[in-house]
Chain A
Amino acid sequence: KQEVTQIPAALSVPEGENLVLNCSFTDSAIYNLQWFRQDPGKGLTSLLLIQSSQREQTSGRLNASLDKSSGRSTLYIAASQPGDSATYLCAVNTGFQKLVFGTGTRLLVSP
């Protein structure tokens, strides 16, 4: 059974810091891995998708890496801003639309 774990569960940093969120999964048989952002009480916004054959993806200040063999992914956020405050979820795709999610990292960036 695929299980996804995210560390840390919560993170508080001052504005401008670079930070790393971690995600691990137990079964390397995945199609892809996605990182999502969720604001309180809202739906999910896809940030980055890494196919199983890829090692990283970048979008603006965000960079996500994938090491499928070790079952790990990281989301790197450069020069954090208060607007980055949200919960970040990673999810592995085990087939078509069946995503297995972690419980998320709650990020607070203080001005």
Chain B
Amino acid sequence: ETGVTQSPTHLIKTRGQQVTLRCSSQSGHNTVSWYQQALGQGPQFIFQYYREEENGRGNFPPRFSGLQFPNYSSELNVNALELDDSALYLCASSTASVPGANVLTFGAGSRLTVL
């Protein structure tokens, strides 16, 4: 399978709830990162995972957490949802063997609305 796939594509939650977003990396890619894109803004780096370990984090609180599985698929979990968490969440995968040489492949995103 080629490309990065994300699920669900759209979801609506209420403030205080928890959400899990899923990502299947492109075949052969061992590194995954997550980005949050608010309306009208550029994506913001949340964190990245390499070999099932968090390997870099942006300016996001601990209620944003993630997992990477042995097959390199990944989850993003957000607890205690706030209205400002409404955004498009993007997953990107690559091979991390050489820093900077890799091209990131992005999924189509999961659109989260918090009411």
Contacts and interface: CB of A to CB of B under 8 A. Distances in A.
Interface of A: 4, 31-32, 34, 36, 41-46, 49, 51-52, 89, 91, 93, 95-104
Given A46-B104, A91-B43, 4 more contacts: A42-B109, A95-B100, A97-B56, A103-B41
A19 B90 CA distance: 28
8 contacts: A41-B88, A42-B108, A42-B109, A44-B43, A97-B31, A97-B56, A98-B48, A101-B42
Contacts of A51: 100-101
A34 B31 CA distance: 18
Instruction: Give chain B's interface residue range (CB within 8 Å of chain A).
Output: 20 to 34
Contacts of A52: 100
| Most chain A Cβ neighbours within 10 Å, of B43, B92, B111 | B43
A61 B48 CA distance: 33
Given A96-B96, A97-B96, A43 B41 contact: no
Nearest to B4: A43
B66 interface: no
Contacts of B100: 31-32, 51-52, 93, 95-96
B40 interface: yes
A96 B43 contact: no
Contact of A96 (B41, B55, B105): B55
A34 B40 CA distance: 19
Contact of A102 (B42, B104, B109): B42
A98 B100 CA distance: 10
